[in-house]
């Protein structure tokens, strides 16, 4: 699935959809690592990659190792406003970004303990604010992880 609209695992567990592409995407598509992505881009992309790792890491306190060794082998970034056809979780970051998906049907409901995050377990859809530390601080990430754990996202 190597294209300019997709970066990461061919069969990801989680895809993060974003409205803009990183620098040097064409060079990264073949076999990207999070380090190469971060090095080729700004601090903004380091934050995005780190938040993706904090959410996707099978073990919450091992997110740094996961980011550096496994992130783009198990997850992906997609820059098109349509969900890829895959049996994975789909994370759309940001209200403006969600609007790019047009009339996409979903039944996402806000989390009881964190109303800025919504989940539709049947569609495997996660809707959050844009992945930035101000909006997705560690408390919000903990709520997301708890909700995903309740949906069976993390391996036992």
pLDDT in tens, 55-111: 999 999 999 999 999 999 999 999 999 999 989 999 999 999 999 998 889 999 999
Mean pLDDT on 118-136: 95
Q: Which residues contact 84 (CB under 8 A, 6 or more apart)?
A: 1, 6, 15, 76, 78, 90
Tokens of 90: 């789909």
How many CB atoms are closer than 10 A to CB 70?
18
In angstroms, the first-to-last Cα distance of the chain is 28
* Domain ranges, ordered by start, for the chain: 6-150
Quick one: pLDDT at residue 3? Answer: 54
């Amino acid at each position: 699935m190597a294209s300019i609209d997709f970066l990461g695992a061919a069969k990801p567990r989680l895809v993060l959809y974003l409205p803009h592409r990183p620098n040097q995407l064409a060079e990264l598509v073949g076999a990207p690592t999070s380090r190469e992505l971060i090095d080729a881009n700004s601090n903004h992309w380091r934050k995005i990659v780190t938040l993706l790792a904090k959410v996707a890491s099978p073990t919450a306190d091992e997110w740094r190792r996961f980011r550096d060794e496994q992130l783009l082998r198990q997850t992906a970034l997609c820059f098109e406003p349509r969900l890829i056809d895959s049996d994975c979780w789909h994370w759309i970051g940001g209200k403006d970004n969600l609007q790019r998906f047009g009339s996409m049907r979903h039944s996402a409901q806000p989390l009881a303990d964190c109303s800025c995050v919504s989940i539709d377990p049947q569609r495997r859809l996660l809707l959050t604010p844009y992945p930035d530390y101000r909006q997705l601080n560690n408390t919000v990430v903990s709520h997301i992880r708890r909700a995903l754990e309740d949906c069976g996202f993390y391996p036992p």
